[in-house]
Amino acid sequence: MSDSQDDLSNIRLLLEQQKLLKLNNTIDRYEVIDELGAGGMGKVYKAYDPNLERVVAVKLMSANVNREDYALRMNKEALATARLQHPHIVTIFDFGHSPLGSFIVMEYIKGENLESYLRTHFPLPESLYLDLFIKMAEALAYAHREEIIHRDLKPGNIMLENGEPKLVDFGLAKLMDASTTSSGVIAGTPHYMAPEQLGESRLINQKTDVYGLGALMYQVLTGEPPFKGTLLEIYQAIVKKKVIPPRRLNRKVSKEIEAICLKCLEKKPARRYQSMKPLLDDLKRYQAQRPILATNHSLWDISIKWLGRNQHFFLHLLLIVMFVGFSITLYTRHQKLEKQALQIKKKQASKHHDSQWLKLEALFQKISSWPQSNLSSDTIEKQLEEHDQTISSYQGILYQQWAWFLVKRSFLEHNKETQEKYLEQALKKFNHAIQLSPYDQSSYVFAYFAAAQHSDPKMREYQRQTQRKFLEILKTRGFEKK
């Protein structure tokens, strides 16, 4: 049969199909309610199934698909796709043949397709399209495990119902993998075809669907398909041209999502994801803010992803570091203030010390010049008693001065008892001076001299002890008794 005869036959079939549908308003037992849409392979109707009392979607194949060879292939594909039971794949209920042509019955989705949705909602937020990509990759990975390849992935084949995506027309594109349409154009949707679908070998496998999902992702990200133009220009671009990176058309797209999309759209199948699983893994890695495999990452990129993934831990750590830093700052500040306060105290004490020392120095000058000074011995004695606590802080030298004053005073007394009273007081001061400065030789000399003047034998014994101690000190300093 020639091509012209085929065309004429298809036209007659189409006219007959329309006439029968108009007369009967049914496809087999399914009562047509409304037309939902039309495509290259047929029309989709909303219909009612009186046997099961439910609303369904019925796809009635076009006249050219109803030829015997395609009808046989459709039976095979319908049987295969009917096995698919997945939350994101539209379920096939039935298939068959009627006077109108071959048909497939599937679940009815109350919603709109992704192509229509993008016209009014582009650009989609990242969280929404990332969820969409993951669910479609999961559905395709499941289908591939069941050895079914979609081959016609596009926004028009994804239905949205209450925000949940469902993939339709599973396996239908496979019916035309070795043919062309009656007009000589390769079947399928050109904008989303992989290069191998246009080649002579037609080596179609899972990587073909990887490309198709990449093309679908590209349109979701940029608002347009990977390539535009006439049919011939699109075919040439699919085989030869590189796609424009999505970020050039939409700066809100992340580098990672762009890398995933471009890896799917590689011309050579060997450079794409080798199946849906690694693609799905990369999408989930990105969702979890972990480095993806589609691109190389710097240490900075990895760190940023880690921080985003562990932000609660990082915030707690940051709070701890800030608290420790604040505590150290407070402690350092407190130590500094204490040090400053101590320095001020020392300065004040030094001033007080200097003031006391000046008073004592003036007093001891008077003592050293006594009895030539105008002060009476009683006045000097009284002033020394008043400054006893202060004198103790100046070590033994001041007690020596005090003791020597008492010795000189004893010399001026004519009463022996009074003399010895002053000498005993002097010895006590000398003894105190020795305790404060045990290696001060002058203290022993003065003590020895004071004891020698005393008439009491006990004092003379003290004199000898003082002499022995004094000689021991001299010996330790290198002097020997001559």
Structural domains of the chain ordered from first start: 1-108 (3.30.200.20), 111-309 (1.10.510.10), 395-476 (no CATH)
Place of tokens 């300065």: 347
DSSP states of 173-200? GGGGTT-B-TTSPBSS-GGG--GGGTSS
Please enumerate in sequence order all residues whose Cβ is within 8 A of that of 360, keeping only pairs 6 or more positions apart, or say none.
387, 390, 391, 394, 398
Place of tokens 């154009």: 185
pLDDT of amino acid 472:
65
Task: Kindly report which listed range (244-258, 269-283, 460-474) carries the lowest average pLDDT score.
Answer: 460-474
- At what angle are helices 206-222 and 255-264 packed, to 10 degrees? 140
pLDDT of amino acid 183:
38
Rounded to the nearest 10°, the torsion over CA 127, 128, 131, 137 is: -130
Could you give the CA distance from residue 469 to residue 464 in angstroms, rounded to a whole number? 9
* Mean pLDDT (the chain, rounded): 77
Could you give the CA distance from residue 46 to residue 30 in angstroms, rounded to a whole number? 9
Angle at 378 between CA 375 and CA 383, to 5 degrees: 80
Residues involved in catalysis:
161
pLDDT of amino acid 324:
83
Using pLDDT thresholds of 50, 70 and 90, give the confidence band for residue 459.
low
Could you give the CA distance from residue 470 to residue 467 in angstroms, rounded to a whole number? 5
Q: Is the pLDDT of residue 194 over 90?
A: yes
pLDDT of amino acid 29:
92
Using pLDDT thresholds of 50, 70 and 90, give the confidence band for residue 96.
confident
Place of tokens 């049919």: 231
Which SS3 state, helix, strand or coil, does residue 90 take?
A: coil
Stretch (H or E) spanning 46: strand 42-49
Q: Say which DSSP state 112 is in.
A: E
How large a percentage of the chain has pLDDT more than 70?
A: 61
pLDDT of amino acid 318:
81
pLDDT of amino acid 10:
59
Could you give the CA distance from residue 282 to residue 253 in angstroms, rounded to a whole number? 16
3-class SS shares of the chain: helix, strand, coil, % to 5: 60, 10, 30
pTM of the model: 0.58
Q: Is 443 left (phi over 0), alpha (psi -120 to 50) or beta?
A: alpha
